[in-house]
Structure 1
Amino acid sequence: MDLTVQQFKADFFKALAHPLRIRILEVLSQGDKNVNELQSIIGSEGSAVSQQLSVLRSRNIVKGTKDGNKVTYSLCDPAIPELLNVAKQIFNHHLIDTISMLDKVNDDNMKAMS
């Protein structure tokens, strides 16, 4: 078995394993932004945004392009928005399953009380 691909996947998902990094990718899915724009949209301190961008850059998930005295960030791979959408769909499926389970428990409790 080729562990190289599995290691790449593990490292890739580790790089995504932070809520602020996910939010940055969601914003960049809408278009390229500089740190100030990201900070404004996300509502987080610039240092936190810069730190998370550094992690994403180190894994080649985002890239920075110098534009005068600003750096504009963009996604390295156009499939990132699709990946985020699939993750949201999986979350929604889990949420629907949980709600269904809670509804069943509530129904069972109501029947037991009758």
Structure 2
Amino acid sequence: MQVPLYQAKAEFFRMLGHPVRIRVLELLQDGPMPVRDLLAAIGTEPSSLSQQLAVLRRSGIVTSTREGSTVVYALAGGDVADLMKAARRILTEMLAGRNELLAELREPGDLRR
């Protein structure tokens, strides 16, 4: 039985739905990073980071290579970086709209607005 495209998309976004995974993807936009650097930048427990990296690796969003005793992670493709940039643009637009509403609410004057 084939999964409908909308369901596959929902599962994809659910997979991204963890703050550590998002942070890893943001950090990897600048290029491959060893686990120790990811760990230092994110500040989470090693076991938690390992678990989240495994989810990203299984999904095919990141790749890992071993360089001696160091494991280095990288984005599997440029589309993921584009997705992170698009998310930033969307959030910026959403928050800008909220700031405009907040400014309007703070304006003195007609309280019936």
**TM-score calculated relative to the size of structure 2:** 0.87
Corresponding residue for 1:95? 95
Name the CA distance, whole Å, in 2 between partners of 1:59 and 1:8. 12
Name the CA distance, whole Å, in 1 between partners of 2:91 and 2:43. 24
The one-letter code sitting in structure 2 at the alignment partner of 1:45 is E
The CA RMSD measured in Å over matched residues stands at 1.7
Q: Is the 8 A contact 1:63 1:75 kept in 2?
A: yes
Return structure 1 stretches of 4+ with deviation > 6 angstroms.
none
Name the CA distance, whole Å, in 2 between partners of 1:57 and 1:7. 21
When you count helix as a share of all residues, which structure comes out higher?
1
Name the CA distance, whole Å, in 1 between partners of 2:68 and 2:35. 14
Corresponding residue for 1:52? 52
Corresponding residue for 2:37? 37
Listed as ranges, the gaps of 5+ residues in structure 2 are: none
Could you list the per-position Cα deviations for residues 43-72 of structure 1 after superposition, in whole angstroms to 9, with x for gaps in the alignment?
Answer: 222211111101111111111112222221
The one-letter code sitting in structure 1 at the alignment partner of 2:20 is L
Give the direction of change, closer, same or farther, for the CA distance of 1:59–1:29 in structure 2 (3 Å limit). same
Name the CA distance, whole Å, in 1 between partners of 2:34 and 2:85. 23
Identity %: 36
* Aligned partner (choices 87, 107, 111) of residue 109 of structure 2: 111
The one-letter code sitting in structure 1 at the alignment partner of 2:19 is P
